[in-house]
Amino acid sequence: MTKRIEATEKAIELIKILQEKHGDLMFYQAGGCCEGTQPQCFEKGGFYQRMGDVCIGIVENTEFWVDKDLFEYWKHAHFTLDVIDAFGVGGFSLETPLKKTFRIEYRIFTPEEEHSLEPLKYIE
């Protein structure tokens, strides 16, 4: 099965640090201007998804949720979670006090990958 999301080593290291401090986590990537379009990291249950939002996979035992409208736009893309040394626009994400920002790099799936994608989970 082809994963829809993977993470760089730097992102995995930061997730582990945040898990030690905060426990179970979740990611949410919104599509609107107010939340920013970078992925936000919260304590699990610290953000309430909308009906139709999509969990595209799990990174380090952490679900990665995407806004339903944003997913429609990016459903043919693979997400790579990375982290940079910067203060992100959102400021609500758990990595913000560490002066880090999670970000996503996208690439389009190959036709072969499209036929073997991992299943999705939706908020119903």
Confirm whether 70 is domain-assigned.
yes
CA distance 68 to 76: 14
Q: Give 114's DSSP letter.
A: H
Confirm whether 15 is domain-assigned.
yes
CA distance 15 to 119: 23
End-to-end C-alpha distance for the chain, whole angstroms: 24
Confirm whether 121 is domain-assigned.
no
> Who wins on pLDDT, 9 or 88?
9
Give the pLDDT score at 31: 76
Estimate to the nearest angstrom the gap between the alpha carbon of 65 and the chain centroid: 6
The tally of domains found in the chain comes to: 1
What is the domain extent for residue 38?
5-111
Q: What is the pLDDT of residues 26-57, one digit of tens each?
A: 999 987 665 557 899 999 999 989 999 999 99
Q: Please state, for a pLDDT cut of 90, what percent of the chain lies above it.
A: 84
CA distance 63 to 78: 15
What is the pTM assigned to this prediction?
Answer: 0.93
CATH code of the domain in which 13 resides: 2.60.300
Confirm whether 117 is domain-assigned.
no
Confirm whether 119 is domain-assigned.
no
